[in-house]
Amino acid sequence: MKDFLKELGIQEVNSGVSDGQFFDPAGDQEIDSLDPATGEVIARVKIAALPDYERVVATASEAFTAWRNQPAPARGEVVRCLGNAFREHKKALGALIAHEMGKIRSEGEGEVQEMIDIADFAVGLSRQLYGKTMHSERPGHRMYEQWHP
């Protein structure tokens, strides 16, 4: 197995289903991730069955009720941590992208850098707690813009 796959924790067969933690899906179908240059199987991914989708959607819906109540700077901190994880594994992620997409290594790392840049941008936005206030034609009425995640 290639070193970058080991660094990223990618096994020969991987779960493609997560509800916050990866779990073995109910079905037994797999998708092969192929190297487009050689046709070699890079790894296999177990795909979700209907009960898995229902579990994931229920968990995500429950998590959303807590997530939406977090202040924007707290959500931004989570995105900052994601950006830092991308930075930490930039070379390995870039190698994986290059391997899966048939790109040269520098292009793969460039894709990761774009993710890092977007994470940095989103973190900055999490500190911009602005919203528009607009006049209304109706008496005693206020219009304002408030962003929700």
Q: 115 and 88 in contact (C-beta within 8 Å)? A: no
Q: What is the pTM of this model?
A: 0.82
The amino acid sitting at 78 is V
Which stretches in the chain have pLDDT values below 70? 1, 148-149
Please tell me the predicted confidence (pLDDT) of residue 132. 85
DSSP bridge partners of 34: 41
Task: Tell me the angle at which helices 105-125 and 90-101 cross, rounded to the nearest 10 degrees.
Answer: 120
Asked if 144 and 131 count as a contact pair (C-beta separation under 8 A), the reply is: yes
CB 60 within 8 A of CB 114: no
Encoded tokens for 120: 């940095």
Short-list 45, 55, 121, CA closest to 82:
121
pLDDT at residue 149, as a whole number? 60
* Farthest-apart Cα atoms in the chain, separation: 70
Q: Per residue in 112-148, pLDDT tens?
A: 999 999 999 999 999 988 888 888 899 888 898 877 6
pLDDT of residue 1: 62
- pLDDT for 136: 87
Query: Which residue in 119, 143, 118 sits closest to 131, CA to CA?
Result: 143
Alpha-carbon dihedral 71, 73, 79, 83, rounded to 10 degrees: -170
